[in-house]
Amino acid sequence: MDQDITYEKYLFHQGNLFRSYEILGAHPCIEEGVRGVRFCVWAPNALAVYVAGDFNHWDGSGHPLHRLEDSGLWTGFLSEVKNGDLYKYQIRTFSGELLMKADPYAFYAELKPKSASRVFDLNGYSWQDQKWREQKKEQPVFRQPVLIYEVHLGSWRTHEDGTWLTYRELAHELADYAAEMGYTHIQLLPVSEHPFDGSWGYQITGYYAVTSRYGNPHDFMYFVDCCHQKGIGVILDWVPAHFCKDGHGLARFDGTELYEKEEIRGWGTLKFNYGRNEVRSFLISNAIFWLDVFHIDGLRVDAVASMLYLNYGKQPGEWLPNRYGGNGDLDAIAFVKRLNEAVFADFPETLMIAEESTEWPLVTGPTYAGGLGFNYKWNMGWMNDVLKYMAKEPVHRQWHHNLLTFSFLYAFSENFVLPMSHDEVVHGKRSLISKMPGDYWQKFANLRVFLGYMMTHPGKKLLFMGGEFAQFIEWRYYEQLEWFLLEYEMHKKFHHYVRRLNYFYRSEKALWELDHGWEGFSWVDCHNCAQSILIFIRKGEQAENFVINLCNFTPHYYEVFRVGVPQPGKYQEIFNSDREDFGGSGKINTQELEAEEYPWQGQPYSLTIKVPPLGFAVFRKTK
C-alpha cells in the first residue's frame, strides 16, 4: 500500500492532490483475496491512531493504523469491517488525550445527533444523465438563461407528520415543480453533514458526507440524476470558509490546530488554514468530489469575503497586515485562485459563484489577469439597494431613484447573479411580500414590478423558495413552506405570474444573450424620478432582436404616455404584470402600436402607450 500511493502522498503534502478522496477515507476493497476496508487519515501530530466502531465495541486498541514513512498519513486494512459499519478514529495525542473523531473524508454519517462515520461504497449507481452532460458542453452558460430556485431541503415540503422528504421523494416532487415553474437550476443550501439543523448546513463536520437526514449518497445521486433528466441543473452551497468546533469534527483533529487557523469573531466557527498544503488538498478535492462523484453543476462559494480579508470581523489592533502592507489574506487568495483553476481544468462548464459582498476587484476575472477566477458573483449591492428602494412608500421613491440605477455604474464590471436569497427573508428582515408597502393589492403589485425589473436587469437570477407564491411569514427552517396559501386567489395568481415571467425570460433571447456588457443594454430614460419610471432596452445578438422594458414604481396609471423607440415599425406589448390573471387591474396595451417619427427620450421614434399602475410592461417590434 505504501508504494502504491507514493506519488499521491507527495501531491497531497504539496497541496496538489485534487482527488484525495480516492486515497483518504474508508474504501471497501479486496486485498490479497480478502474483502475488507482500507482506511487512511491525515493526523501528523498523533502518537497513535486506531479505528473504533460497532465491529469492535468501540474499542480501537486492537485495530491500529500504521504511519506511512515520512508522512502524516496513517493507513491500514481491516478485514473485520464491511460496507455500512459505523466507525470513528481513536487518536492518541502526545499530551495523553484520546480523541474520538469522525473521518474527515467519510462519505456517509450517522443521523444527527449521533456523529459516527459510516462506511459507504460510492460505486454502483447507474447514471442516466448522459444527454444532460453533453448538452452542457455544447451550450456555454454565458449565452444561456439562468434562473435559480434556491431551496432548503428540510423545509421546502415535508410529510404530513412533519418528517422530511427523502432525496428520492424530492427527486420527483422538487424536480418536477422546478421544471414546471420554468427554473433552469436548483441551488441547495449546504447538504454536507452538519450537526445542528439551525445552522442551515453552514457549520459542517463532514465535508464529503452528504447529510443522512434525507437518505444515503446513492439516494442523493438519484436526486441529481432526476433533476438532470428533467433539464434542471443542481448547484450546491459550498462552505470552504469555516467549520464548526464540535468535538467529533475537524477542530484540533490530532490534538493540535491542524485544519484551523483562528476563530472567526461573531460566528463561533474556525477559519481554515489556507497556508497549509494538506488543507488545500482537502478543500480543492472536496469541490472536485461533488462535481465528479455527484455530477453537480455548480458551487456557490459561501462567505468569500471572510476568507479574503485579514481584518474580517476584527477591530483595529487585532490583526497584522500582510507582507505588502495590505489586509488581504495571501494564503486564502492563492487558495481561491488555485481552486478555480483546478475546477475549470477538469470541469470547464461548471458554475463557480462567489458570495462576495465587498468591492474586491476582478472576482470573476481570470487568474492569469490577476482575478480570483470565479465565473459569477452575487450582486449583493444591487440586492440591498433595490430592496431598500422597494420598502419605501411610492410617494417617497422619487427622492431615492438612484437606488434603482446605481447598479449600472458597475453592472458589467463582473459577471453577476442577482440574488433574492434566504438571507433576505429571516432574522426579522421579513418576507419579500411583507417588505412591500401599501395595502393588500399594492403589496402584490409592488412585488410583481420588482420581480419584473429583476428579470429584465442584466445578470442571472436567483429566488429563494416561497418567494414565488408570496409567502407572508419569514422562512422557518423547522417547518415546510405555507403551500396552503395557493388556495387564496392573490397568491395563486402571483404564483401564476412568476411562472409566466420565468418562461417569458427564457423565451426572450434579448434578456440573456448579451448579459455581460453594454452591447446588450441601453437606457431610454433613467432620469424620470418624478414619476418613478424606468425605461430601458435589452438587446440580443441579432440587431433586430430587442425589447423595450418599462417599470412604473408608483400606483399612478397613465392612459397616454410617450416612450422613445430606436426603430420605425409596429410594436406589440408582449408582457404586462398588470394583467387580471396575474392579480392586476387589467391596464394593458392590447393593440399593435405604430411608431411615430417623433424623436423622444433620445430615440428617433416613439410610441404612445398605457402605463400600468405599479406595473411592468415589455414591448417588441413585430416582424
- Tell me if 345 sits within 8 A of 291, measured CB to CB: no
Over residues 53-68, the pLDDT tens digits come to 999 999 999 999 999 9
Whether the pLDDT of residue 2 is over 80: the answer is: no
Select from 558, 544, 553 the least CA-distant residue to 623.
Answer: 544
Whether the pLDDT of residue 259 is over 60: the answer is: yes
Whether the pLDDT of residue 153 is over 70: the answer is: yes
Over residues 80-99, the pLDDT tens digits come to 999 999 999 999 999 999 99
Angle at 299 between CA 232 and CA 121, to 5 degrees: 85
Q: Would you place residue 69 in the very low, low, confident or very high pLDDT band (cuts 50, 70, 90)? A: confident
> What's the rounded mean pLDDT across residues 545-559?
97
Q: What's the pLDDT at 3?
A: 45
Q: What's the pLDDT at 70?
A: 85
Query: Which of 34-43, 205-214, 226-235, 259-268 is least confident?
Result: 259-268
Q: Who's near 187: CB < 8 A, 6+ residues apart? A: 148, 149, 150, 151, 234, 235, 236, 237, 298, 300, 462
Marked catalytic residue, from 8, 260, 331, 355: 355
Give 329's DSSP letter: -
Q: Who's near 483: CB < 8 A, 6+ residues apart? A: 157, 469
Q: What's the pLDDT at 1?
A: 43
Whether the pLDDT of residue 383 is over 60: the answer is: yes
Catalytic annotation present for 302: yes
Over residues 403-425, the pLDDT tens digits come to 999 999 999 999 999 999 999 99
Q: Would you place residue 142 in the very low, low, confident or very high pLDDT band (cuts 50, 70, 90)? A: confident
Whether the pLDDT of residue 208 is over 60: the answer is: yes
Percentage, residues of the chain above pLDDT 90: 96
Cα torsion angle, 502, 508, 513, 518, sign? negative
Q: What's the pLDDT at 266?
A: 86
Over residues 321-380, the pLDDT tens digits come to 999 999 999 999 999 999 999 999 999 999 999 999 999 999 999 999 999 999 999 999
How many residues are listed for the chain in this entry?
A: 623
Marked catalytic residue, from 150, 219, 302, 331: 302
Over residues 586-611, the pLDDT tens digits come to 999 999 999 999 999 999 999 999 99
Q: What are phi and psi of 487, to 5 degrees?
A: -80, -15
The domains of the chain, with CATH numbers, are 6-118 (2.60.40.10), 518-621 (2.60.40.1180)
Mean pLDDT of the chain: 96
Catalytic annotation present for 355: yes
> What's the rounded mean pLDDT across residues 418-439?
97
